Amino acid sequence: MIGKIENVEQAFSSKGDEYLKVTVTNESNGQTTVKNIWNQLEQKWPILVIGSRADFKMEKKGQFWNVIDVLPVDMPPPQQPQPAPNEQAVMKDVKTTVINPAPERVSDRERQHSIETQVAAKLITELWIAGKLEQNETPPTESCVAVINWCYGYLQPFI
């Protein structure tokens, strides 16, 4: 039977076996039926996409027709999966987490080093703007040399 897949739902038997309930519209007579695709055909589950067409190979056992194979006829263009209503809140949290990841925890030592590095960069910039870092300058004062050495010590990994 070739049919268009209208709906796919995950279900569990009373024994706990997982299967898919697939609502299919038969192309030959337009009749809509529900087919159970058991976990023996789990490798075929990815082709059971809403809007696709599939060929369901059936076999009669007792009074029931069982699906023994599913072959793809054509697949619709890929779509974003729609979460179930109870999963929408979870999906929203996941998207928020990905877009706005939590900041990494910075140790106190790293924080202090970052602050001191920023202060050093500011001091070097102020000294350079003030003209205290000229290469042809007469020997600078001891305090200026001390500040420059301290600043370069913190800035060395970044230079």
CATH number of the domain located at residue range(s) 2-76 in this protein: 2.40.50.140
Domain ranges of the chain: 2-76, 108-158
Q: So what's the pLDDT on residue 131?
A: 73
Dihedral sign from CA coordinates of 143, 145, 147, 150? negative
Q: Which amino acid is at 147?
A: V
User: Would you give the distance in Å from CA 51 to the centre of its chain?
Assistant: 25
Reported pTM? 0.46
Per-residue pLDDT of the chain (159 residues; tens, 9 = 90+): 889 999 999 888 888 888 889 999 988 899 998 998 888 888 888 888 888 888 989 888 888 888 899 988 876 555 566 655 555 555 555 555 455 555 667 777 777 777 777 777 787 777 777 776 665 555 666 766 777 777 667 666 655
Q: Which amino acid is at 29?
A: N
109 burial (CB, 10 Å; 0-12 / 13-18 / 19+) is exposed
Instruction: Evaluate whether 3 touches 25 at the Cβ level (below 8 Å).
Output: yes
Q: How far is CA 36 from CA 31, 89, 115, 117, 134, in A?
A: 16, 29, 64, 66, 83
DSSP character for 100? S
